[in-house]
């Protein structure tokens, strides 16, 4: 953990300090080695927060974008009878979790049920078989109302009226087709390929933002269609994202 209570205040780990866990109240000792992030650890292994994952520089850099008073906020879980620490919890009651490893669908659902107002930021640099495709028109724009979208990074547009025809009779369009001359790709919507997709993220009904490094996040979006869901990404600058939830520091 980045913080523990020392004499009643939230303090970062420093050699020689003794802390108290913000969650369970047990004794914490500072770990301040050369190679690892300075952090606090429980002196004795306790059932504290089973959801907590080993903190990386990636986590720490994200949390550091938010006021200290928003970081590592503990909540008691009556059902699991343990404390959970939100990575970031804003005064408006919104939790932001930075997740490095994949979750099972059951894990995802229990966290989403617990926090309710939750946003996920996930580390996409760890995904296998993931690649960003081309920019595409906004899949929810009126201009595509008559089409169903499919495919991974190479999006195929099929007219809804032809959806029930045998495959060889269907007109399948790509953006390069002359019929699409009047349709512009947007600058912020992208297709993607994800060969070994983490199913839990695709099933989440809460906002999921993928961090691929660089200055942007990619918001995982879906379009409900008669032929099945179509997933795509909406680019958001990290600065916009951070400023959006950073407005009212205490
Ligand atoms: Zn604890």
Phi, psi at 19, each rounded to 5°: -125, 170
What spacing in Å lies between the alpha carbon of 78 and ligand 1's midpoint?
Answer: 16
Domain assignments of the chain as residue spans, ordered by start: 1-47, 49-250
Give which of 208, 211, 216, 214 is closest to 235, Cα–Cα.
216
Distance 106 CA to ligand 1 centre (A): 23
Q: Which residue in 167, 166, 148 sits closest to 158, CA to CA?
A: 148
**Cβ–Cβ under 8 Å, residues 165 and 158:** no
Q: How far is the CA of 213 from the centre of ligand 1 (A)?
A: 31
Smallest CA-to-CA distance from 87 within 68, 114, 103, 104 is with: 68
Residue 38 φ then ψ, to 5°: -65, 130
Q: At a CB cut-off of 8 Å and minimum separation 6, what does 164 contact?
A: none
Give CB contacts under 8 A, 24+ apart, made by 129-132. Answer: 129/193, 129/194, 129/195, 129/196, 130/192, 130/193, 130/194, 130/195, 131/192, 131/193, 132/190, 132/192, 132/212, 132/218, 132/233
Give percent of the chain above pLDDT 90: 71
Cα 51 to middle of ligand 1, angstroms: 12
Decide: 22 and 1 in contact? Cβ < 8 Å.
yes
Contact 137, 202 (CB under 8 A): no
36: how many CB neighbours lie within 10 A of its CB? 12
pLDDT tens-place string over residues 88-145:
999 989 999 999 988 999 999 999 999 989 999 999 999 999 999 999 999 999 999 9
CA of 49 to the centre of ligand 1 (A): 7
Q: How far is the CA of 65 from the centre of ligand 1 (A)?
A: 24
- Look up tokens 């209570």; give the residue: 5
Residue keyed to tokens 């390929």: 193
Going from the Cα of 28 to the center of ligand 1, the distance in angstroms, rounded, reads 8
| CA of residue 44 to ligand 1 center, whole Å | 10
Cα 22 to ligand 1 centre (Å):
6
pLDDT value, residue 249:
44
pLDDT tops 80 at residue 190: yes
Per-residue pLDDT at 170 exceeds 80: no
Tell me how far the alpha carbon of residue 83 lies from the centroid of ligand 1, in angstroms: 7
Give residue-wise pLDDT tens across range 60-78.
999 999 999 999 999 998 9
23 alpha carbon – ligand 1 mean position (Å): 5
Are 236 and 217 a contacting pair, CB within 8 Å? yes
At 41, give phi and psi (nearest 5°). -135, 150
State in Å: Cα 248 to ligand 1 middle. Answer: 28
Radius of gyration, CA atoms only, the chain = 22
Q: State in Å: Cα 107 to ligand 1 middle.
A: 20
Structure confidence by residue, pLDDT tens digits, 1-56: 999 999 999 999 999 999 999 989 999 999 998 878 999 999 998 778 888 888 89
């Amino acid at each position: 953990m980045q913080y523990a209570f020392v004499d009643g205040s939230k303090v970062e780990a420093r050699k020689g300090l003794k802390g108290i866990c913000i969650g369970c109240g047990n004794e914490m000792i500072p770990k301040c080695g050369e190679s690892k992030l300075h952090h606090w650890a429980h002196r004795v292994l306790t059932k504290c927060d089973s959801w907590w994952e080993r903190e990386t520089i990636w986590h720490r850099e994200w949390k550091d974008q938010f006021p200290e008073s928003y970081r590592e906020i503990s909540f008691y879980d009556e059902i699991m009878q343990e404390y959970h620490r939100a990575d970031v919890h804003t005064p408006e009651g919104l939790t932001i979790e930075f997740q490095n490893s994949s979750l099972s669908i059951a894990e995802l659902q229990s966290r989403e049920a617990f926090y309710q107002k939750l946003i996920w930021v996930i580390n996409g640099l760890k995904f296998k078989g993931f690649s960003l495709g081309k920019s595409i028109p906004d899949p929810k724009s009126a201009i595509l109302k008559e089409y169903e979208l499919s495919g991974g990074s190479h999006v195929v547009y099929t007219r809804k009226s032809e959806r029930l025809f045998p495959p060889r009779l269907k007109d399948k369009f790509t953006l390069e087709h002359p019929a699409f001359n009047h349709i512009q790709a947007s600058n912020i919507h992208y297709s993607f390929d994800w060969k070994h997709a983490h199913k839990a993220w695709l099933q989440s009904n809460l906002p999921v933002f993928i961090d691929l490094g660089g200055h942007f996040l990619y918001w995982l979006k879906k379009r409900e269609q008669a032929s099945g869901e179509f997933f795509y990404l909406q680019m958001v600058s990290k600065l916009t994202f951070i400023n959006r939830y950073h407005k009212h520091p205490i």
